[in-house]
Structure 1
Amino acid sequence: MKRVNEYKKLFSVEKEIDLKTLKTTYRNLVKEWHPDKFMDGDSMREEAEEKSRKIIDGYHFLVSIAPETKAANQEAYNRTIAESGIADFQHKGLLLEVSFLDGTTYEYFGVPKNVYVKLINSDRQFRFAKRSIFNSYLYRKSKKDIEMA
């Protein structure tokens, strides 16, 4: 959740993410922090390069968790969580990364350690995740999808 809040703060998003407003803010930030605006020897150029990378990452991240993006991908997500089993999962901080047997990977934000421990100890992990995780936490499709041969 720290990452979500950090990016929302960067783009001045208070509640719901509006893609049109987000795109306008993104363009303005990129114009302001583009490294080409600064001279080669300038220390601000390095800061601008770092800031522009952060702006680009933040934009792609916020687009991936926007309600409009989630609505567009809802059918595929529902099919994955209904028909595909869990291949692997990892927990880092409050981030739970779940890889499914169909090759897709989703990240769930704000999943506390006690819920992760319950998932590990559950004799029916997919059933537990379906009831307690999949529709309870903020999620996004990860870029780490496995290519199906």
Structure 2
Amino acid sequence: MKRINEYKKLFNVEGPIDLKQLKTTYRTLVKEWHPDKFQAGDEKAKEAEEKSTKIIDGYHFLVSIAPETAEANLEEYTKTITQSGIGDFHYKNQVLEITFLDGNTYEYFGVSKNIYTKFLNADNAYRFARRNILSDHLYRKSKRTLETA
């Protein structure tokens, strides 16, 4: 959640993410902080390099959690969570990363320690996840998705 709020603040996004507005803000920020605008070796150039990297990462992250992106990928997501079991999972700082048996990996944001503990102790972790995590939390497809052979 901290990362989401940090990137939303960077792009001045309040409420739901609008991809059109996000793209406009992204282009403005990239023009403002592009490293080529500054002399090499200058402190501003180093700051611009770091800032532009953060802008690019933030843009891709916010696009991946935007409602329009989730809607566009809903069919694939639904197929994964209904037809594939949980292969592996990792939890850190209210982010639960679940790798499904079909190779897809999704990150779920805002998963409390209490929910995670119940998930670990559930008789059927997959059923618990479907009822309490997969449909109730903000998610995005992780970059760690395995390629199928």
Q: Give TM-score, length-normalised by structure 1.
A: 0.99
Q: Determine the C-alpha separation between the residues in 1 that align with 2:25 and 2:47.
A: 19
Q: Determine the C-alpha separation between the residues in 2 that align with 1:40 and 1:47.
A: 11
Alignment root-mean-square deviation, CA: 0.5
User: Which residue in 1 is equivalent to 2:82?
Assistant: 82
Q: What residue identity is the alignment partner of 2:81? A: I
Q: Determine the C-alpha separation between the residues in 1 that align with 2:108 and 2:101.
A: 17
Give SS of 1:120's match. helix
1:147 and 2:138 matched: no
Q: Determine the C-alpha separation between the residues in 2 that align with 1:64 and 1:82.
A: 21
C-alpha deviation, 1:77, in angstroms = 0.5
Q: Percent of aligned positions with the same letter in both sequences? A: 67
Q: What residue identity is the alignment partner of 1:10? A: L
Q: Determine the C-alpha separation between the residues in 2 that align with 1:67 and 1:121.
A: 31
User: Which residue in 2 is equivalent to 1:71?
Assistant: 71
Q: Give TM-score, length-normalised by structure 2.
A: 0.99
Any residues of structure 2 matched to 1:4-23 within 5 Å, and which? 4-23=4-23
Give SS of 1:16's match. coil
Give SS of 1:146's match. coil
C-alpha deviation, 1:123, in angstroms = 1.4
Q: What residue identity is the alignment partner of 2:127? A: R
1:60 and 2:60 matched: yes
Q: Which stretches in structure 2 are left out of the alignment for 5+ residues? A: none
The alignment of Structure 1 onto Structure 2 pairs a total of residues equal to 149
Q: Which stretches in structure 1 are left out of the alignment for 5+ residues? A: none
Give SS of 1:96's match. strand
Q: Determine the C-alpha separation between the residues in 2 that align with 1:62 and 1:25.
A: 12
Moved beyond 4 Å, runs of 4+: none
